[in-house]
């Protein structure tokens, strides 16, 4: 006969280890070469988003560090920006981002109920300049009119940022840009996010942990307009300072930058049956 503590333990470990159906998988196989990101591949778009004339192999790195929570057989990938990271004439930005290969903008990754997972770590050799605003992970609507959810750090434009060395999960930027969750951006450790997005009920729930700790819900499923489909971006989008008008074109970007963020465990799972992986 089971004692109730044993039964509870068994149920919670089952929940933590459950496997949900995958929608996309951007986890990088450990035998990957950087040149594989320059041609069509299973993981990420080889065409977007990067500076004009660049190849992904020039800006991605495969740092020799231990993988993130969900990288059991896969490895982290770093996205870096330089002075050459000017995409599509956007001189007010420096940016490079990975977009999942299957995420066309009108695909099922932005329909139903999905949880997008990713882990972020600083690179001590390539620090960000926290006088600037950075977007590190975001969903941009198919008509490019908004970001329905975005993880930012640094000094956020239009916000009185108390401590720029913070990761902030912000809801739809055209519908109030509500801060859903924020946490210190510590050095030398992965920050693991799960964003449960209900594209029917228009809600977002944030799951979070650091290091190898299983994810925990840090918010309820709160109202957030995630309609409009679009594409998930994982990388570094650095905005200029003191930009007037169209900030894609205006704002100060100091030269000679060498900045990066390390990503691990990028994938999305189907949460239509309430399945959210808290651990691999
Ligand atoms: C950080 O950015 C600000 C604003 O562009 C600039 O004045 C400052 O020189 C930068 N710091 C470094 C270390 O590049």
Domain of 214: which CATH number? 2.60.120.1160
* Cα distance between residue 192 and residue 102, in whole Å: 22
pLDDT band at residue 279 under the 50/70/90 scheme? very high
Average pLDDT over residues 136-140: 99
Asked whether residue 14 is domain-assigned, the answer is no
CA-closest residue to ligand 1 atom 7:
254
- Name the closest-CA residue to atom 2, ligand 1: 131
Instruction: Compute the distance between CA of residue 83 and CA of residue 77 in angstroms, rounded to an integer.
Output: 20
Ligand 1 site, CB within 6 A: 129, 131-132, 241, 252, 254
86 alpha carbon to ligand 1 midpoint, in Å? 18
Q: What is the pLDDT of residue 19?
A: 84
Residue 15 above 50 pLDDT? no
| Mean per-residue pLDDT, 89-108 | 98
> Is residue 12, in this structure, part of any structural domain at all?
no
| Residue numbers of the domain that contains 196 | 22-270
Distance CA 72, CA 280 (A): 7
Per the domain annotation, does 113 fall within a domain?
yes
* 3-class state of residue 14 by DSSP: helix
Q: Residue range 202-227: average pLDDT?
A: 98
**Is residue 191 included in any domain, yes or no?**
yes
Question: Domains in the chain: how many in total?
Answer: 1
Residue 61 belongs to a domain: yes
Residue 67 in domain: yes
- The verdict on residue 93 lying in a domain is yes
Q: What is the pLDDT of residues 245-275, one digit of tens each?
A: 999 999 999 999 999 999 999 999 999 999 9
Ligand 1 centroid from CA 69, angstroms: 33
Whether residue 153 contacts residue 166, with contact meaning beta carbons closer than 8 Å, is answered with yes
Mutation test of ligand 1: which of 92, 128, 131, 250 has the most ligand atoms closer than 8 Å to its C-beta?
A: 131
pTM, two decimal places? 0.94
Per-residue pLDDT at 245: 93
The overall average pLDDT reported for the chain is 94
Residue 94 lies in a domain: yes
Q: Check pLDDT > 90 for residue 12.
A: no
Provide the β-strand partners of residue 120.
Answer: 191, 263
Reduce the DSSP state of residue 5 to 3 states and report it: helix
Give pLDDT tens digits for 25-44. 999 999 999 999 999 999 99
- How many angstroms does the Cα of residue 254 sit away from the middle of ligand 1? 6
Contacts of 27 (CB under 8 A, 6+ apart): 43, 70, 71, 74, 264, 265, 266, 267
């Amino acid at each position: 006969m089971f004692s109730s503590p044993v039964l509870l333990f068994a149920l919670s470990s089952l929940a933590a280890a459950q496997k949900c159906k995958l929608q996309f998988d951007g986890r990088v196989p450990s035998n990957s070469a950087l040149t594989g990101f320059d041609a069509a591949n299973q993981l990420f778009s080889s065409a977007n988003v990067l500076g004009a004339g660049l190849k992904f192999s020039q800006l991605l790195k495969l740092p020799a560090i231990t993988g993130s929570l969900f990288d059991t057989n896969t490895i982290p990938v770093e996205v870096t920006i330089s002075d050459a990271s000017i995409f599509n004439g956007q001189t007010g930005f420096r940016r490079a981002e990975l977009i999942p290969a299957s995420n066309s903008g009108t695909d099922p990754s932005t329909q139903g109920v999905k949880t997008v997972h990713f882990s972020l770590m600083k690179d001590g050799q390539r620090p960000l300049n926290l006088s600037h605003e950075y977007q590190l992970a975001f969903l941009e609507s198919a008509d490019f009119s908004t970001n329905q959810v975005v993880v930012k750090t640094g000094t956020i434009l239009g916000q009185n940022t108390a401590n720029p060395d913070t990761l902030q999960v912000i809801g739809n930027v055209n519908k109030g840009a509500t801060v859903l969750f924020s946490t210190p951006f510590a050095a030398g450790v992965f920050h693991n996010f799960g964003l449960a997005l209900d594209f029917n009920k228009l809600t977002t729930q944030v799951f979070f942990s650091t290091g190898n700790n299983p994810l925990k819900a840090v918010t309820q499923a709160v109202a957030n307009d995630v309609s409009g489909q679009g594409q998930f971006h994982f990388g570094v989008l650095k905005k200029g300072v003191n930009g007037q008008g169209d900030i894609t074109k205006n704002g100060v970007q100091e030269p000679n930058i060498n900045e990066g963020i390390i990503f691990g465990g990028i994938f999305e799972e189907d949460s239509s049956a309430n399945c959210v992986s808290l651990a691999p």
